[in-house]
Amino acid sequence: MRLNIRKKNNYSYYSIIKDYTNLDGKRTTKIFEKLGNQQQVEKRFGKANTIDNIKKYITDLNKEDKEELIKIELNPNKRIVGDNKINFNVGYLFLEKLYNELNIKSICDSIQDKYQFHFDLNEILSYLVYARIIYPSSKLETFNQCKNFIVKPSFELHDEYRALSYIAKNMDYIQEQIFINSKKIMKRNSKIIYYDCTNYFFEIDNQDDLRKYGISKEHRPNPLVGMGLFMDGDGLPLSFNIYPGNKNEQTTLIPEESKIINNFKLDDSKIILCTDAGLSSDEIKKFNIKDSRGFVITQSIKKLKDAYKKQIFDKSNWRIVNDLKNVYDLSTIENNTSLREKYYNTLFYKIIETETKSVKQDLIVTFSFKYFDYNRTIRNNQIERAKKSIESGNVKRKSKNQNDYRRFIDSLNVTDDGEVAENIEYCINEEIIKQEEIYDGYYGLTTNLVGEIEEILKIVKGRWEIEESFKIMKSDFLARPINLSREDRIKAHFMTCFISLLIYRILEKKLNYKYTTSQILDTLRNMNMLEQKGCGYQPLYERTQLTDELHEIFRFNTDYEIVSYKKMKKILNIKIKL
């Protein structure tokens, strides 16, 4: 800090000026303290040796400044400077540390060297990833929202769109290298791999080569794009693929599984595939018994042959995990209140030998009284909704979807004589209810594995993670609807969503899965700081246990009363080994 004397109309005005460098590297100044005119400084510092006394005061202030004591003065009569952004998000800095640990910059640099374009691909991709998590929105809005980060991007909007094309061209390479890099910072459980598919709708009228009319997972009448997602045994994304919305998802599994086995250099003799009944073809099972591989695939009990159903619904010869001596009769337990209460949370199982055209396998069926009651409760709630819909006359269409309450509604539009009735009457279809009740409490899977039943059941239990990943992308990252039309840009959009999902899932793991998705995302999105010009950044967010853990894990803090420019620069440039 230094003394500044400004003369105006034969009067001298004294102030203390502070020099500082902002995060953009620009050297600038601010008035640290106004001392007043000649009469005022002489009254404060004395008529004798006034300048020397002021300089001594400044020397003491500089000593305090070195001890990082920061003085902020605000004038209630002075308006803030217009078009001057002072509020910034720092929650993305935790994501940035993970992005850097995955060494994605080296991947982008390789692509940039290959094609010799001049914009910074890594900067663009990184901001697309951070914004997808912090400010999920369209690509145009993302470009604007990135200016809310404490380090503003240097690229232009047209660079962002050009970058999408190069990201799409190198999707397989990016996924392969990210997986290899991830193994350097954490253990990847690729012995077990999960695969599932979903689709995303586009609010357009006409389909094209990629966006096709198909069966929407969300029952939308729009053109779709399909996504297949592989996940490892710890719930971390492995890879993804994009395919036309009318393509049978079963045909996507084997080519993509072969690709990741080869590209990721997985030990295919140890892989166990787990997926759902929709991907339960004989060809898929045959592929996944090669080289001693295994599969655990859910099985719809409704679609089994009657001979197998007869064995399943036989109440006798049920077992409990870790109890090889005893067998149980479900009807005995069901009809005894105390026994039912005792075994309410117990998982019973039965193993039935079956085979497909090419594969010998075991059908493992489980039963739980708790799951039985859960099925009944869900259905009864749906039946009540169906009754209210009939009473209110709000029956727009019928449905066969197993999660839609309207499947219980039946219509009567003919008279007893077979003639067409003038009015359609609706009622509850009791026959459908009876058919569904038969399967309450039961769950089936098929496998070629031989071993501890507990381990097999543990594998299939992990399938919820992949459903959760789809939910995060669709609901929390707003991955749809997609406001892009070019195929390469659509694929690049999903590439950024995939990287965002991986980074978020790693963050969840580092937090030991103690917090919900909404808790984590709300915290990151609300971690804003106010720039006090010439002083630093003042936190505007609430300090919580979660923010404390984030700072502890990533070894930097933004939760001081004010973070000086010097400290903030250190946070932005520090290299941390996580």
Q: Is the alpha carbon torsion for 310, 312, 313, 316 positive or negative?
A: positive
Task: Judge whether residue 180 has pLDDT over 70.
Answer: yes
Task: Judge whether residue 246 has pLDDT over 90.
Answer: yes
Q: Output the average pLDDT for the chain.
A: 90
pLDDT of residue 575: 39
Residues 6+ apart with CB under 8 A from 132: 142, 477, 496, 497, 500
Two tokens, residue 350: 């039965």
Q: Bridge-partner residues for 199, per DSSP? A: 226
Measuring CA to CA, how many Å separate 414 from each of 213, 235, 361? Answer: 34, 53, 48
Task: Find out whether 170 and 111 touch, Cβ atoms under 8 Å.
Answer: yes
Cα–Cα distance for residue pair 503/382, rounded to 1 Å: 37
Q: What is the pLDDT of residues 58-89, one digit of tens each?
A: 888 877 665 456 677 788 888 888 888 899 99
Task: Judge whether residue 418 has pLDDT over 70.
Answer: no
**What's the 3-state SS for 489-510?**
HHHHHHHHHHHHHHHHHHHHHH
Residues 6+ apart with CB under 8 A from 241: 227, 228, 252, 256
Half-sphere exposure of 83 (CA within 13 A, CB side): 0
pLDDT of residue 356: 86
Task: Find out whether 536 and 88 touch, Cβ atoms under 8 Å.
Answer: no
Cα–Cα distance for residue pair 413/424, rounded to 1 Å: 5
Task: Judge whether residue 138 has pLDDT over 60.
Answer: yes
Supply the DSSP string of 164-208, one letter for each residue: HHHHHHTHHHHHHHHHHHHTTTS---TTEEEEEEEEEE-S-SS--
pLDDT of residue 553: 96
Q: What is the pLDDT of residues 473-495, one digit of tens each?
A: 999 999 887 888 999 999 999 99
Kindly report which listed range (6-15, 125-134, 242-251, 418-427) carries the lowest average pLDDT score.
418-427
User: 267 or 398: whose pLDDT is higher?
Assistant: 267
Task: Find out whether 16 and 32 touch, Cβ atoms under 8 Å.
Answer: yes
Task: Judge whether residue 33 has pLDDT over 90.
Answer: no
* CB count in 10 Å sphere of residue 386: 23
pLDDT bracket for residue 415 (50, 70, 90): low
pLDDT of residue 420: 57
Two tokens, residue 95: 């994501």
pLDDT bracket for residue 403 (50, 70, 90): confident
pLDDT of residue 209: 92
Cα end-to-end distance, the chain, whole Å: 39
Nearest CA to 366 out of 273, 473, 303, 443 is that of: 443
* CB count in 10 Å sphere of residue 381: 11
Q: What is the pLDDT of residues 281-329, one digit of tens each?
A: 999 999 999 888 999 999 999 999 999 999 999 999 999 988 889 999 9
pLDDT of residue 380: 95
Sequence spans of domains, the chain: 2-66, 371-437, 529-573
Each as own residue / partner, the long-range contacts of residues 151-155 (CB below 8 Å, 24 or more positions apart, any chain) are: 151/23, 151/572, 153/123, 153/124, 153/127, 154/120, 154/123, 155/119, 155/120, 155/123, 155/124, 155/127
CB neighbour burial string for 119-139, b if at least 16 within 10 angstroms, e if fewer: bbbbbbbbbbbbbbbbbbeeb
What SS3 state is found at 121?
Answer: helix
pLDDT of residue 349: 96
* Backbone phi, psi, residue 411, to 5°: -115, 140
Task: Find out whether 523 and 547 touch, Cβ atoms under 8 Å.
Answer: yes
Could you tell me what percent of the chain has a pLDDT over 70? 95
User: 107 or 44: whose pLDDT is higher?
Assistant: 107
pLDDT of residue 421: 58
Cα–Cα distance for residue pair 8/371, rounded to 1 Å: 85
Task: Judge whether residue 36 has pLDDT over 80.
Answer: yes
Using the structure block, give the residue that is written with the tokens 């999707």. 171
Cα–Cα distance for residue pair 246/526, rounded to 1 Å: 40
pLDDT bracket for residue 199 (50, 70, 90): very high
Q: What is the pLDDT of residues 443-475, one digit of tens each?
A: 999 999 988 899 999 999 999 999 999 999 999
Q: What is the pLDDT of residues 481-531, one digit of tens each?
A: 788 899 999 999 999 999 999 999 999 999 999 999 999 999 999 999 999
143-168 mean pLDDT: 94
Could you tell me what percent of the chain has a pLDDT over 90? 64
